[in-house]
A and B are shown apart, each in its own frame.
Chain A
Amino acid sequence: MRKLIALALVCGCMDMAGQDKNPKPQSLVDDWRDEVIYQIVTDRFADGDVNNDYGVDTTGTDLTRYQGGDFLGIIQHLDYLHELGVTTLWISPIVRNVESDANLSGYHGYWTQDFEHLNPHFGDLATLRELVAECHHRNMKVVLDIVVNHMGQLFFYDINLDGVPDEVTIGTGDGTPLGRPGGSPVGHVLEVDPDYDPRGVQSATSLGESGMAPIIFFHVPAINRMPPAPAMFANPDWFHRKGRITDWNDPQQVVLGDFPGGLKDLATERSEVRVALAQVYSYWIDAADFDGFRIDTVKHVEPEFFEDFSTRIRQHNMARGKKNFILFGEVFAAPDDQMALYTQNGRLDSVEDFQFKYQVVDETIKNSGPTKKIEQLLGSRAALYPSTPAEGGITLSPQQAFVRFLDNHDTARFLYDKPSVPALKNALAFLLTMDGIPCIYYGTEQALSGGNDPANRERFFPGGFNASSDTFKFTQSLLALRKQLEPLRRGDLNVVWSTDHSGSEEDAGTFAFERSTPMQRVLVVLNVSDTQTSHTANGGSIMHTGFAPGTVLHAKFPEGGSDVTIDSTGGALVTVPARGVLVLSP
């Protein structure tokens, strides 16, 4: 009856096609090495709907606050990104966050309050689905940034048992406040973010300790500092409750401590927490058909967690017929052996390559350092990272699937450290011709130059989308070349020239490598020197390649470059101007 009346009422006019159902899973990736990731901080990229600009900074200068970017803004600029040539978007976390904390806003998305609902600043689920669908329509994929290590500042440690979040000053005068021998006689403790205690944060008064401090979830709707959601997360046992990391060299603290800012560390070793996290993030795969997860603060989670979590995510995808879903993690600033841990035993498909960032981009390219360091880094990894793909993961081994980047939302931009566009182009050329999965931080193609967080999270709109700018065109042409030449994407990498020289020597700054498939071989030669034209020879020694003698190599990049002929010994003398790059193939 009701349906009949409804039908009569609306005369069919109300049957508006919408994004009201989970999209059909798509598996668009053949080989993740074909992909070029473009990292977006959603709040900063583009404001497509001013109506969700709640509490935004209207000046565009206070980068600690929301700026207004949203899903619709990204949708409106997909053609720009498609024209640039990137193939995968990595979008910042989407779930509902604590609105603000200590005069900072949760625009970045890493302060989860509710795992199952969207941050209203960015738009609704229908628009998110539209975003992913529009990307898929352009054969672009979307990787979602997720957090499993912690939630936002959702509770305080009631150290003095008075039920309110204080700044507590306590002490017995005997040098053992809070039970820490050697401590000062008077302790000053912020109950929202106390220091790490291996026993768990202890309650204490001036008379002494009273055991584990109870935690009390906040209830401040105005800034969405509310108990964790879904409700199963509002369980004190699901958090480590050991306080904030104070010693970053203490592995226990790094894994069990709260992240600075009072971000409460989840007890990810508990099976029910693992199940719950896999469950909430599986929900988002279904809800929007994401193509991968970038996982935040992986270094602060025990590696074994990912054997469980990744398996659950992979099984979930397998059951739905979704293939090649990538899982890569942020092991921030970690050495190779620590990063590699997270790729072993099928844990993650890949990691963000921080060693490439520090050793290659920062030390070598920015500083025109000896390129021998690059060769050493690349040569050292086979022993650390698995050479076979994770079961049920992407079809590439961790050795093949490093996510490489010049800068990101946690580091100063390339041009801040090295204010030289030729150097940036030099680095981009290296990034986009070497192996792995390149990742470009939004705005790099427009030569943004912000310093450390939050200056590196510039508001990109409204004027950022200049498809005729010099760096845009440069990036675009390299992306087109990578797309055109299969070896640049899938080929093996073999270093054929590197040097210890970084001064005025004839080969100073040069680095050369081949990318080869069974069908095709490409030679890439770079010069990281700021000032000197160099060539691939030194002291009578000349670069040798895998090309047959007499092969004539034509310049694929830049256009109009000179041909190079392989001499009778297989040697090739390639001259590259300062900060130049040559891509050559027969």
Chain B
Amino acid sequence: VTSVLVCALLVGGVPAAPEGFDYGSYGRVGAATDLEGGPGVSTNVVSHGSRLEESPYLELDVYYGHTVDDVRWRVVSSLALTGSLQHFEGFNTQPTLMLRNLYLQGDGVGRPWLSVWAGSRMYRGDDIYLFDFWPLDNLNTIGGGIFIRPPSWELALHAGVNRLDDLYQFQTVPEPLPGAAGTIDQVTLNRERFIESAKLTYFLREGPSGAKLSLYAEAHEIGEGILTHPDRTTEKLPSDDGFLIGAQAGVWSPAGFANLFVRGATGLAAYGDTAIPYSVGLDKRAADAREFLLGTSAGIGGPRLGVIIGAYLRYFHAAQPGTYALDRYWEGIIDARPQLQLTPHFAVAGEVSYQGRSTDALDPVTMQQASPSVFKLTAMPAVVTFAPGLFGRPQLRVVYTASFLSSEARSLLSLADTRLSQDTIHYLGIQAEWWFNSAYR
């Protein structure tokens, strides 16, 4: 059942790319109702819950490959769109357009085992598909790196920056335009976050089966800055940093694959590369933030029956000094999606998951301990696959999910949508998901 594609992902190797232009895409889209007259909505209460209720997303990949003197150059560009669909929200809405991948990589530069790249890149390893989550390494930077790939080994080194359009990193303040009427937006805060990463992987391959072990480390640094408040007073933003270490063990065979992830992070790295430290210590630094994560993913099965599994347990506390903050919690989810292949292009599937979060903090509305949990049962009575296997895509599917919310989950979720104050939330929809020749490979 496990597709060749998945094996390719796990091995980490890069299939030979064609010369000249080629194209790829990842996308998902769907229509859903909550059976109460409203749209189907997500009922996740953990950071990375079931992906079945995700909003539409599209990546359009354009590549150009060329080989010169045994060096294979490849330009990768990925345009991503998310958010509004005009056929849903009307023709005056605009999707969010993002330029994600935009890099050039050369393989076999100087040495057959050496690759170099530079540019903007989604730079990441293996995911837990059911949660759309990369539990070990998932960086989005502009920078560069190298891959060293002697037999059975891969060493990936990378350094990059980001400068988010957020008052944590960037600010402009209107000032009178010198010598003329009007104003100019004077840049008063403009600081980059530097991120470096290293990943060492050892592969043990035995025919179509194999195993790998990866060690991973990541460092984040940001310099000082000055924030200007609306009343024109200023505040010094201190420099900050963070670190992350982790590991992954994986096995694969024609019967399936399994991965185990573990990582721990401190400071800026605990929040993630594109997140600002929204809670900080008295010194306005993120040094006291902590994250620990243990996760797993697996896909196992035969020609007719298979199952995708995902689970993680995560402890996170933001850098705030209080013991009882909502940003100090344990969370976890366990999820399984069995699929029965009835014909080469038709399957039925289901999904069962339980997710919860536990914190000492009290819900500000109910004044009770804020430990929401959600139990979900999903039936996918019609799955039309255009490629065989659990991960065969493109795929059309009918999805019905019943989410059973704890009282704390109802309280939490209803802050964002009053309709989520019910015990049971329904989701009935039709979805499409595809990937082909995607940049994620």
Contacts and interface: CB of A to CB of B under 8 A. Distances in A.
B324 interface: yes
Interface stretch (A8-16, A230-238, A380-388): A8-16
Interface stretch (A117-125, A176-184, A390-398, A492-500): A117-125
Contacts of B330: 10, 13-14, 16
B324 A2 contact: no
B279 A51 contact: yes
A20 B368 contact: yes
A124 B324 contact: yes
Interface in B346-373: 354, 356, 358-362, 364-365, 367-369, 371, 373
Contacts of B279: 51
A279 to B, nearest CB: 15
Nearest to A75: B322
Contact of B322 (A6, A15, A117, A127): A127
Contacts of B233: 58-59
Contact of A2 (B280, B313, B373): B373
A61 B219 CA distance: 39
Interface in B330-348: 330, 332-334
A434 interface: no
A50 B369 contact: no
B282 A47 contact: yes
A48 interface: yes
A130 B358 CA distance: 19
A18 interface: yes
Contact of B321 (A2, A11, A48): A48
Contacts, number: 102
Contacts of A58: 229, 233, 235
Interface in A166-206: none
Interface string B87-111: 0000000000000000000000000
Contacts of B318: 51
A14 B321 contact: no
B375 A48 contact: no
A390 B321 CA distance: 43
A5 B375 contact: yes
B282 A126 contact: no
A67 to B, nearest CB: 13
A287 interface: yes
Nearest to B355: A9
A542 B229 CA distance: 66
A124 B362 contact: yes
Contact of B362 (A6, A13, A20, A48): A20
B164 interface: no
B280 A9 contact: no
Contacts of A282: none
Contact of B364 (A8, A16, A120): A120
Contact of B367 (A2, A10, A120, A287): A287
Contacts of A117: 364-365, 367
A51 B324 contact: no
B334 to A, nearest CB: 6
Contact of B313 (A9, A48, A51, A125): A9
Contacts of B282: 47-50
B325 interface: yes
A312 B371 CA distance: 34
A9 B356 contact: yes
B72 interface: no
B214 interface: no
Contacts of A287: 367
Contact of B334 (A5, A50, A72, A126): A5
A222 B380 CA distance: 43
Interface in A85-122: 117-118, 120
Given A51-B325, A58-B229, A18 B320 contact: no
Contacts of A125: 362, 367
A87 to B, nearest CB: 25
A16 B321 contact: no
Interface residues of B, number: 38
B284 interface: yes
B20 to A, nearest CB: 50
Instruction: Give the interface size class of chain A.
Output: 20 to 34
Nearest to B229: A58
A286 B371 CA distance: 22
Contacts of B375: 2, 5
A16 B360 contact: yes
B315 interface: yes
A207 interface: no
Nearest to A14: B358
Interface in A16-58: 16-20, 47-51, 58
B354 A9 contact: yes
Given A16-B330, A126-B360, A10 B313 contact: yes
A76 B321 CA distance: 10
Contacts of A2: 354, 373, 375, 404
A6 B281 CA distance: 32
Q: Which of B229, B284, B367 has the most CB of A within 10 A?
A: B367
B86 interface: no
A222 B85 CA distance: 30
B229 A18 contact: no
Given A50-B280, A50-B284, A20 B320 contact: no
B183 interface: no
Contacts of A76: 321
A20 B362 CA distance: 7
B320 A51 contact: yes
Nearest to A462: B282
Contacts of A59: 233
B360 A20 contact: yes
Contacts of A51: 278-280, 318, 320, 325
A248 B358 CA distance: 54
B47 interface: no
B323 interface: yes
Given A13-B315, A16-B330, A51-B279, A6 B364 contact: no
Contacts of B284: 50
B287 to A, nearest CB: 13
Q: Which of B324, B367, B368 has the most CB of A within 10 A?
A: B324
Contacts of A120: 364
Nearest to A96: B364
Given A20-B362, A117-B364, A10 B356 contact: yes
From A59, A76, A120, residue with most partner B Cβ within 10 Å? A59
Contacts of A124: 322, 324-325, 361-362, 364
B333 to A, nearest CB: 8
Contacts of A15: 358
Between B278, B322, B364, B371, the greatest number of chain A beta carbons within 10 A of the residue's beta carbon is seen for: B322
A117 B362 CA distance: 12
Contacts of B360: 16-20, 126
A125 B278 CA distance: 21
Contacts of A18: 324, 359-362, 369
A20 B356 CA distance: 17
Nearest to A283: B367
A158 B330 CA distance: 51
Contact of B320 (A9, A10, A49, A118): A49
Given A2-B375, A5-B354, A51-B278, 5 more contacts: A5-B334, A10-B332, A14-B356, A18-B360, A19-B362
Please provide the 3 A-B residue pairs with the shortest distance between their CB atoms, ordered closest to farther: A126-B324, A18-B360, A14-B358
25 contacts: A2-B354, A5-B334, A5-B354, A9-B356, A13-B315, A14-B371, A17-B360, A19-B324, A20-B368, A47-B282, A49-B320, A49-B321, A51-B278, A51-B320, A51-B325, A59-B233, A72-B321, A76-B321, A117-B364, A124-B362, A126-B324, A126-B360, A127-B322, A130-B323, A130-B324
Interface of B: 229, 233, 235, 278-282, 284, 313, 315, 318, 320-325, 330, 332-334, 354, 356, 358-362, 364-365, 367-369, 371, 373, 375, 404
